[in-house]
Amino acid sequence: MSITPLSDPGAASPPQASEAAASARADYAVEFTRVRKTYGGRAAVRDISFSIRPGEFFSLLGPSGCGKSTTLRMIAGFEQPDTEGGGEVRLNGKLVNHLRPYERDLGMVFQSYALFPHLTVARNIAFGLEQRGVGKADIATRVRGAMDLVQLDAKTFGERLPPALSGGQRQRVALARALVVEPPILLLDEPLGALDLKLRKEMQQELKDLNTRLGITFVYVTHDQEEALTMSDRIAVMADARIAQVGTPAEIYERPRTPFVARFIGESNFLEGLIESNEGGRLSVCHPAGMFTALAGTGSATVGTRVHLALRPERLHIDGEGDNALPARIAHVIYRGEMLHVRLTTAGGGELTVATRNEGQLRRPVAWNPGDTVRVTWFAEDMQRLEEDPA
């Protein structure tokens, strides 16, 4: 992810440099540069910077209160950055800090859907077109097209009122209403939260398919890690009003930068110890349960300093292969359908979780029982060295 630095507004720039900067900014559908938002002295968003490419499915992911909805509302224009030193928000290269929502050429799907209960489905979908002065004949054609797009039959549902629809149908109407105005950027604020699990998974795939087919930039807010991993091209993980990490789903999951990201996205084991030696970037680490090898990665790797590492449960093995091995005792074997999670304890009171595929507990039950002593093994390259969470 690269951000084009903002120049000093008081400094003169050569024409070529100004043109290059404008061209670089136009390459992004959305760009935040050092954006800050406070309410009564409390920071809701702290100097965040990120960029979203046109056509990308970009998710803002994090727990409640982390700043993701405030960030989305600043894109929409419902909130503005702080007046003094609040940074810049740009849409398709254009500074929009003080533009009103209707001046930003966006579509939005709200968590509550925000449908007009007294208007039919067709009138709800047509509302944005009517506000833009589109002709009646064109409105009718575009409403039918939008309903087809979200798989709602116009003859069956067009004259129904929202209270007569299911949650999934109301969600589709809200999506059609946003898409019918053909926005270059579509904002979605946890739109699947009210749906049951089966329908939510179906809609996840449909949203991703729409993003691919239409080429519209999707900016999606969610607290659901699996949802973000399933649909997104890239994810911004937010914590405590900051962006903790931006990357593809694979980068976020397999290379978490901080303990928060490693905990929030999936499940992680955490190991720490003192560096005893550093041989060409391969570290010998002293742990209460024994010695193991890690890769230095980025940052200092001075002998005698402490190193913090994360290791996903599926990268651990019981009595398997790997260049690392520690003795451990089986604490619990947890049945999770297609996977088994084996909880282990190590010397010094440490805990580890191993995830292994269920090969059939009725036909081929695992041989481990609580209390058994085993070797837990893994490869050094499967560990991720972590930075400290920001204070």
Domain ranges of the chain: 24-262, 267-385
Residue 12 reports pLDDT greater than 90: no
Q: How confident is the model at residue 26 (pLDDT cuts 50, 70, 90)?
A: low
**Chain centroid to CA 315:** 22
> Which 8-state DSSP code applies to residue 118?
T
CATH H-level, domain 24-262: superfamily: P-loop containing nucleotide triphosphate hydrolases (3.40.50.300)
Mean pLDDT of the chain: 88
List pLDDT tens digits, range 63-102: 999 999 999 999 999 999 998 989 999 999 999 999 999 8
Residue type present at position 65: G
The CATH superfamily assigned to 267-385 is Nucleic acid-binding proteins (2.40.50.140)
Gap between the Cα atoms of 49 and 28, Å rounded? 13
Q: At 364, is the pLDDT very low, low, confident or very high (cuts 50, 70, 90)?
A: confident
Residues 49 and 244: beta-carbon distance below 8 Å: no
Q: pLDDT at position 10, please?
A: 35
Q: What is the pLDDT of residue 93?
A: 94
**What angle (nearest 5°) sits at the alpha carbon of residue 315, between those of residues 312 and 319?**
130
Averaged pLDDT for residues 119-145? 92
For the cut 70, the answer to whether the pLDDT of residue 22 exceeds it is: no
What is the average per-residue pLDDT within 23-33?
Answer: 80
pLDDT at 6: 28
Query: In 10 A of CB 72, how many CB atoms?
Result: 20
Instruction: Check pLDDT > 60 for residue 355.
Output: yes
How many residues does the structure list for the chain?
Answer: 391
- Same topology, domains 24-262 and 267-385? Answer is no
As a whole number, mean pLDDT of residues 15-24 equals: 48
Phi and psi at 145, nearest 5°, equal: -65, -40
Confidence (pLDDT) at 247: 97
Which residue type occupies 382? D
pLDDT at 391: 67
Question: How far, rounded to the nearest angstrom, does the alpha carbon of residue 99 sit from its chain's CA centroid?
Answer: 27
| Mean pLDDT (whole number) for 319-336 | 92
Cβ atoms of 33 and 6 within 8 Å: the answer is: yes
- Asked if 69 and 37 count as a contact pair (C-beta separation under 8 A), the reply is no
Residue 7, pLDDT above cutoff 70: no
